[in-house]
Chains A and B, each alone.
Chain A
Amino acid sequence: MSQPANPTAAAIRFDAVEKALAAQGKGRVVALRDVTLEVPPGAICGIIGRSGAGKSTLLRMVNGLERPSSGTVTVAGHDVGRAKGAGLRRIRRDVGMIFQHFNLLASRTVYGNIALPLEIAGLPAAEIRSRVSDLIARVGLEAQAKRYPAELSGGQKQRVGIARALATRPKVLLSDEATSALDPETTQTVLALLRDINRDLGLTILLITHEMGVVRDIASDMAVIDAGRIVEAGPTHDVFVSPQHPTTRSFLSGVTGINLPGFIAARMQDSRPDGPAQEVIRVTFSGSHATDPMLARLASEMGTEANILAGAVEEIGTRPFGNLLISVDAAKGAAARGFLDRHGLMTEVMGYVR
């Protein structure tokens, strides 16, 4: 046997992982460079990146479908990158995987598809029957058990995929763009199912996606990957509240749902003009502050009145998180920002409008 799993260690650990691929006519292309990342047990970790950023390669290293060129990938204490043959297959049974295009066998029914990993693991028939029945009930497909994938909707197919991935009772679930082929409503039901599984089974989930909405809705932790590097990582809430990297910000602008109204954006300028002007400020608030009436206090305590230009309050990782665009008299801008900063909000000057 390989070394025993250390219960206190990370469920998944990437340590200085590099991956170089041979590309046609270009010599070697580096797909991943110096990736170090830890996923704690029981976390739902979302890795977001554009296509070609390397997230798929990263995910496939966790079950040894790809091997690192250097560095180590550890799953529950086992070195996946160096495991081979039977040892690697044993690790793979502890790691379930679901796919964007489901990858169900067309020749097998719902029941047969879920039974496949158990047949592969060589379980006795009676054990397979009882486990598959339980799994079908868990994903709510009792009525479809004898149907073939071609007769199912996309959401139902992904439920089969999830049940199949859970069949061998893995410790880790990998999700490869599992909701990218689904409509928004179905996406929500599949994400809810993943959240339930994470909670009920204590399963660690590592998912890759290009949709920030998925990360916001389900991930407790997140990492942003760009051109083969992890450019930002941390608890989802923290990254949403104070994104550091431009790539993260560009992903966030798509989901935080607030942008300046067009007539203001068109008149914005970077430097403060002479004469009377308005300062446009982005205010980010989180945690307990998200529900405080800070703008009312700004008016009553500082005598500064703020115009609200755009805003939204959302819930990220069960904590409220808000984003507000306001404008104040430019002469009072610095004082207003100081007041808000002192009360735990984050401010950022976006520009000025005459």
Chain B
Amino acid sequence: MSANLIGLLYDATLQTLYMVAVSALLGTLFGLPLGVFLATSQRGELMSAPWWNTVLGLVVNAARSIPFIILVVAIIPFTRWVAGTSIGTTAAIVPLTLAATPFIARLVENAIREVDAGLIEAARAMGATPVQIIRKVLIPEALPGLVLGLTLAVVSLIGYSAMVGAVGGEGLGDLGIRYGYQRFMPDVMLAVVVILIVMVQLVQSAGEWIARLVDKRAPRNRGG
């Protein structure tokens, strides 16, 4: 493999990391409050707003139904409005974030719903406001589940990022298609796949390690 190709692989890896990192960050920024709201807004719950819960639930489901590759091209005008361009790595962050947000919201909702209702009752009995209950009880108690959920989201985003080549998003997936497939360079394809495998393994291991670190529910892994 030539030095030129190695340079291409290196650049593509950085592009993928950049797209995934920024879209995961933005997806969490939007998805976390959305997920918390979905988990606490059914009738009789902490932030009871059943109508909004239903509407946002439908929107989230609709967004998650759209195949990612279609989402990427369908929202090109929106992407251009947000990013100033519809082509390139930065532009690709827009559809990635839009796909990540509802996904993360559902993962957050599931993690929050795992928290024992008795803890919410205890916090209410202390005179906590709904916001205090969310900040001091629900999110800290759901943290191990939240970390694992975000890990899953990042791994999914690494997969999605391979499709943004369709709008000139570049990155590893795009490199694999253009060189490995269209130019018949199987060594490039192999290299791309190996890098992606390593990336996913690292993300998954790191996520599980952090989740264990923040999980105080069982007296294990505390160094004896």
One digit per residue, 1 when the CB lies within 8 angstroms of any chain B CB and 0 when it does not, for chain A 110-150 equals 00000011011100000000000000000000000000111
Total residue contacts A-B, CB cutoff 8 A? 68
Whether A245 is near chain B, meaning CB under 8 Å from some CB there, is no
Chain A residue, CB-CB nearest to B214: A107
Q: Which of A86-94, A205-213, A302-310 contacts B (4 or more CB under 8 A)?
A: A86-94
Q: Which of B18-26, B120-128, B200-208 contacts A (4 or more CB under 8 A)?
A: B120-128
> Given that A101-B118, A150-B216, A150-B218 are known contacts, is A107 also in contact with B140, CB under 8 Å in the complex?
yes
Q: Which of B56-64, B129-137, B147-155 contacts A (4 or more CB under 8 A)?
A: B129-137
Check if A93 sits within 8 Å of B143, measured CB to CB: no
Check if A150 sits within 8 Å of B124, measured CB to CB: no
Check if B126 sits within 8 Å of A168, measured CB to CB: yes
Q: On chain B, which size bracket covers the interface?
A: 20 to 34
Whether B223 is near chain A, meaning CB under 8 Å from some CB there, is no
| Contact among B126, B143, B216, B218 with A117 in the assembled complex (CB-CB below 8 Å) | B126
Whether B116 is near chain A, meaning CB under 8 Å from some CB there, is yes
Residues of B within 8 A of A90 (CB): 127
Check if B141 sits within 8 Å of A106, measured CB to CB: yes
Check if A99 sits within 8 Å of B127, measured CB to CB: no
Check if A65 sits within 8 Å of B119, measured CB to CB: no
| Contact among B125, B141, B219 with A107 in the assembled complex (CB-CB below 8 Å) | B141
Q: Please tell me the number of chain A residues within 8 Å of chain B, measured between CB atoms.
A: 29
Point out which of A92, A106, A149, A174 has the most chain B C-beta atoms below 10 A from its C-beta: A106
B126 to chain A, nearest CB (A): 4
Check if B123 sits within 8 Å of A120, measured CB to CB: yes
A117 to chain B, nearest CB (A): 4
Q: A135–B28 Cα gap in the complex (Å)?
A: 38
Residues of A within 8 A of B217 (CB): 106, 150
Check if A65 sits within 8 Å of B125, measured CB to CB: yes
Check if B125 sits within 8 Å of A92, measured CB to CB: yes
Check if A116 sits within 8 Å of B127, measured CB to CB: no
| Contact among B119, B129, B219 with A89 in the assembled complex (CB-CB below 8 Å) | B129
Check if B216 sits within 8 Å of A65, measured CB to CB: no
- A interface vs B, CB < 8 Å? 63, 65, 88-93, 95-97, 99, 101, 103, 105-108, 116-117, 119-121, 148-151, 168, 174
| 9 nearest A-B pairs in the assembled complex, by CB-CB distance | A92-B127, A89-B127, A103-B122, A103-B118, A117-B126, A148-B216, A97-B125, A107-B140, A151-B219
19 other A-B residue contacts (CB within 8 Å) besides A96-B125, A106-B216: A63-B125, A89-B128, A92-B125, A97-B122, A97-B125, A99-B118, A103-B122, A105-B137, A105-B141, A106-B141, A107-B141, A107-B143, A120-B126, A120-B127, A148-B219, A150-B217, A150-B219, A151-B219, A174-B125
